[in-house]
């Protein structure tokens, strides 16, 4: 098995594990939305009240392990994702809703360049290219195929929601904490406290921290945020977070990685 395929399989397992762990605590009190579309691989929820996970990456840490990716090879200290969270994805409960078997297999094989292009307005595409550096590797095609198809709306609505939520995270004290701690250690407690400060008491209990070992260092690669509700242009992320159920906090902490090989 080549190194690229191994990395893709590990990434898929991590996504599955994150969703599994989020679903372990007591089920939310809110009713599950009625399905609107069914496939062998999942059920698409209406784009109304539903459980979602916002996955926000810390790109310099991600690039420590996959430096040959286009988005990593071109990364510099002045680029947006050097000091802001970048979009990994917005994940409903299910995956691959009404996706043809051939397309699903392309995705699972990591042949993202062969997946159907994502149809977005020019202004949204420009925003997405900035906040999701992985578009240089067709990450947006993968995320739509695996997760967005279960969101219950079209590509533009899905990515409008995802980028709007990420913008609120990047405008918060959480982002300020990370940007002010580059090269330093942050604890899970500090991160969760920043979520409380930004999005209301208890918000931090809906956040998991993901870390990876990089030699002798442990680095923070991502935070995932539990959400419940309907995402609209006027939706406050604080309301969505506090409506979700608590979860475990993930890793105990790690270094906020700077740009470049450490």
What's the token pair of residue 106? 């392309």
CB-CB neighbours of 163 under 10 Å: 17
Question: Using an 8 Å Cβ cutoff, are 226 and 241 in contact?
Answer: yes
Q: Which pLDDT does position 228 carry in this prediction?
A: 97
Predicted pLDDT of residue 19: 54
- Tokens standing for residue 53: 């996970």
What are residue 8's phi and psi, to 5 degrees? Answer: -65, -40
> At 209, is the secondary structure helix, strand, or coil?
strand
- What phi and psi, each to the nearest 5 degrees, are found at residue 246? -65, 160
Three-class DSSP labels, 159-206: HHHHHHHHHHHHCCHHHHHHHCCECCEEEHHHHHHHHHHHHCCCHHHH
pLDDT at 233: 83
Among residues 201, 192, 178, which one has the least CA distance to residue 225? 192
Digitized pLDDT (tens) for each residue of the chain, 262 residues in all: 454 445 445 455 455 555 545 544 433 333 333 233 333 355 555 677 899 999 999 999 999 978 889 999 988 999 999 999 999 999 999 999 999 999 999 999 999 999 999 999 999 999 999 999 999 999 999 999 999 999 999 999 999 999 999 999 999 999 999 999 999 999 999 999 999 999 999 999 999 999 999 999 999 999 999 999 999 888 999 999 999 999 999 999 999 999 987 7
Residue 253's Cβ-side half-sphere holds a number of Cα atoms within 13 Å equal to 12
């Amino acid at each position: 098995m080549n190194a690229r395929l191994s990395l893709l399989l590990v990434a898929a397992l991590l996504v599955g594990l994150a969703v599994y762990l989020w679903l372990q605590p007591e089920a939310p009190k809110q009713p599950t939305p009625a399905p609107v579309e069914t496939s062998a691989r999942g059920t698409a929820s209406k784009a109304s009240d539903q459980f979602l996970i916002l996955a926000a990456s810390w790109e310099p840490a991600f690039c420590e392990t996959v430096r040959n990716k286009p988005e990593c090879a071109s990364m510099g200290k002045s680029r947006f994702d050097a000091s802001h969270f970048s979009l990994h994805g917005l994940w409903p409960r299910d995956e691959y809703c009404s996706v043809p078997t051939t397309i699903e297999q392309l995705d699972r094989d990591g042949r993202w360049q062969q997946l159907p292009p994502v149809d977005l307005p020019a202004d949204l595409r420009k925003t997405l290219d900035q906040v999701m550096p992985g578009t240089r590797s067709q990450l947006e095609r993968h995320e739509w195929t695996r997760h967005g198809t279960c969101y219950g709306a079209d590509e533009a609505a899905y990515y409008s929601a995802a980028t709007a939520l990420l913008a609120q995270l990047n405008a918060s004290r959480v982002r300020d904490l990370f940007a002010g701690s580059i090269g330093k250690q942050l604890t899970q407690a500090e991160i969760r406290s920043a979520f409380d400060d930004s999005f209301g008491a208890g918000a931090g209990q809906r956040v998991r921290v993901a870390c990876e070992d990089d030699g002798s260092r442990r680095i923070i690669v991502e935070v995932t945020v539990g959400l419940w509700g309907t995402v609209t242009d006027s939706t406050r992320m604080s309301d969505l977070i506090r409506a979700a159920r608590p979860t475990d906090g993930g890793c105990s902490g790690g270094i906020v990685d700077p740009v470049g090989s450490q």
